[in-house]
Structure 1
Amino acid sequence: MYDSPAEIAHLTSSDKFDAALAIHLYKGGRLLQGSRIPFGIIFGGTDVNEDIKCKEKRQVMGAVLERARFAVAFTVEMKELAAAEWVGVSSFYTGIKTTPSETFDWYTFLQNAAIPAASGPVHLFLLVCGLRRVKDPLYLVEAFSEWHRKDPSVHLGIIGPAVRVPSSLCLCCCRAPGVHVLQELPQQELHAALRSCLALVNSSSSEGMSAAILEAMDLEVPVLARNIPGNAAIIKHKETGLLFSTAQEFVALSKSLMNDPVLEKGIVTRAKEYVEKHHSWEGERKTYQSLVQRLQ
């Protein structure tokens, strides 16, 4: 709703506001410049991974951090990236909570997605992401379509909102055999769809910490993720998930997952244990409560 620091400064000039939290050091944090109230910053991922490369944005983010009471990074790696440029960055893992719908109909979902469920078994991989360039939804499309031509049972569903993305990108996905651009789902239905699919896919070129990955782990769904720092920070290859560096490696690992139930069982069991230990939403709540005390 707001586009400039002046608008936020005017908004917070009343006595209705005591403090603020900004998510994403540049997109959210820049709007708090000039505001009279104390605030804390929560990194988003692209701010540390991408925006820091731009001199103008880096200067703005540095100015915001000078005034912030605290700054939060979700991984040690992200904290170290930020600390190399700025100081005073804390770090903790984010928590998640999954609530799959109990009334979700998997076969209706496949029918609405135009996936031929009746002709035989369906092996659906779900790529959950906002359709924007940094999520790189086209990364796997060509290789996956080639695989689908040889094995029509495999399908890739790309599900999420279109965020500042050219229509040609969506069109390219829609025309690829075996690849389906699906409508957004409410969170509970999305969790239910995840629980029914073969695996969760992440093909991002840059990532902070993917909530979709953590949710899949909690739902005991295997994760295949691109081997980038943000993903490797929470996935140990062949222990809590599978990391791929090329589209061809993704296909090979997917085939291994489909044909090796022991591998799948081991991955989802260890991933569930990891999430329960490191990504508790109760723990996150307590951490934020303690951080907010610093704003008083």
Structure 2
Amino acid sequence: MRLLFLAVLRPHTGNAVTAQRVRAHLEAAGHVCILKDAFDFESPSEIANLILAENCEAALALHLYRGGRLLQGHRIPFGIIFGGTDVNEDANQGEKNIVMGRVLEEARFAVAFTESMKEMAQAQWPHAKGKIYVQSQEINQSADNLHIFLLICGLRQVKDPLYLVDAFSEWHQEEPSVYLVIAGPEVDPVFTREVKAKVRRAAGVRLIGEMPQEDLHAVVKNCFAVVNSSVSEGMSAAILEAMDLEVPVLARNIPGNAAVVKHEVTGLLFSSPQEFVHLAKRLVSDPALEKEIVGNGREYVRMYHSWQVERDTYQQLISKLEGSTED
């Protein structure tokens, strides 16, 4: 089957990585998957032309609003993969909420990364209750005296990269061996300037740009812990990758992170910059705690974020788009 797959494809972002991985799953089942950046299209009519030109028989979109709205009314079956922005942000905006509900009416299926994301979506759009599936994202991974805390995120406000800077800088002045490194693409130019200005004035905090995934994995392997300070998350690929690479995780206590990180079991959850510093100090001074959460984190990923299970799920869901357009 020839499938059109719409996703936001900013280089080296979680969306792009997820889209490439899902495409690989579908192509492994013999489908032709035509992956396009949703931001390259402004209206459904442009998508209609693309569907005709590529002779597409069905479609898939990552992000209910950003991609899904472009698939309405084309008389080909399609499915949706929720993004964190869908349920955490766009659902709270009246007009977008209405559009997303209409997209779900047409969609054959929708995929949520966690049970909590599924529950939030069902509360917003009760009519879609019978078509939302849960499939966690998979992870396929094929300085002695320093403690590097690595914050991986695109430089935009929802990721809140400045949340810990002041508190961490104070800690660095007490303990010069600790550093916070912020790594990621410059997504929002205006906000990026704010981040750069703040980091330049902060002792013990460094900012590095985006890098290829294999290089980023090498950096993760050599850091002391991976940090997530986002205001909202769907499911953080950086957290799962850190767990898989046997690196401790400290994550802000928000629903998307708490769905993955169980406090003091698979990682540590903090609700303020001061609590982050307290927990980070505890992790540095307690090798037994570090060993325990690293082991539990790796086991959690192996049990609940299986690459093969994810592949099987998407291949089975795509079969719902074959044949008649009637349910």
2:52 alignment partner, SS class: coil
C-alpha distance in 1, partners of 2:103/2:232?
Answer: 23
Structure 2 gaps of 5+ residues are 1-39, 323-327
| Residues 151-190 of structure 1: pairs in structure 2 closer than 5 A | 151-166=175-190, 167-190=193-216
1:12 alignment partner, SS class: helix
- The answer as to whether partners of 1:9 and 1:34 remain within 8 angstroms in 2 is no
- The answer as to whether partners of 2:112 and 2:132 remain within 8 angstroms in 1 is yes
Structure 1 gaps of 5+ residues are 100-116
Identity percentage over the alignment? 61
C-alpha distance in 2, partners of 1:50/1:279?
Answer: 25
2:120 corresponds to 1:75: no
- The answer as to whether partners of 2:80 and 2:110 remain within 8 angstroms in 1 is yes
- RMSD, aligned CA: 1.3
Query: In the TM superposition, what is the alpha-carbon distance from 1:35 to its structure 2 partner?
Result: 2.4
2:227 alignment partner, SS class: strand
C-alpha distance in 1, partners of 2:189/2:117?
Answer: 26
- The answer as to whether partners of 1:12 and 1:37 remain within 8 angstroms in 2 is no
Residue matched to 2:81: 42
2:321 corresponds to 1:278: no
C-alpha distance in 1, partners of 2:53/2:147?
Answer: 55
2:289 corresponds to 1:263: yes
C-alpha distance in 2, partners of 1:241/1:125?
Answer: 14
> Which residue of 65, 69, 89 corresponds with 2:104?
65
- The answer as to whether partners of 2:186 and 2:209 remain within 8 angstroms in 1 is no
C-alpha distance in 2, partners of 1:175/1:267?
Answer: 33
2:192 corresponds to 1:143: no
1:294 alignment partner, SS class: helix
1:134 alignment partner, SS class: helix
> Which residue of 264, 272, 278 corresponds with 1:238?
264
Query: In the TM superposition, what is the alpha-carbon distance from 1:262 to its structure 2 partner?
Result: 0.2
2:134 corresponds to 1:91: yes
Residue matched to 1:113: none
2:80 alignment partner, SS class: strand
Query: In the TM superposition, what is the alpha-carbon distance from 1:178 to its structure 2 partner?
Result: 1.0
Query: In the TM superposition, what is the alpha-carbon distance from 1:171 to its structure 2 partner?
Result: 2.1
Query: In the TM superposition, what is the alpha-carbon distance from 1:11 to its structure 2 partner?
Result: 1.1
User: For 1:105-140, what per-residue CA distance to the aligned partner results, in whole angstroms no more than 9, with x for missing partners?
Assistant: xxxxxxxxxxxx7xx821110001111111000100
Across the two proteins, how many residue pairs are aligned to each other? 277
C-alpha distance in 1, partners of 2:263/2:300?
Answer: 13
User: For 1:222-262, what per-residue CA distance to the aligned partner results, in whole angstroms no more than 9, with x for missing partners?
Assistant: 00000000000011100000000000000010000000000
Query: In the TM superposition, what is the alpha-carbon distance from 1:165 to its structure 2 partner?
Result: 4.3
- The answer as to whether partners of 1:148 and 1:177 remain within 8 angstroms in 2 is yes
Structure 1 stretches of at least 4 aligned residues deviating more than 6 Å after TM superposition: none
Residue matched to 1:229: 255
- The answer as to whether partners of 1:225 and 1:244 remain within 8 angstroms in 2 is yes
- The answer as to whether partners of 1:222 and 1:267 remain within 8 angstroms in 2 is yes
Residue matched to 1:24: 63
Amino acid at match of 1:205: V
Residue matched to 2:4: none
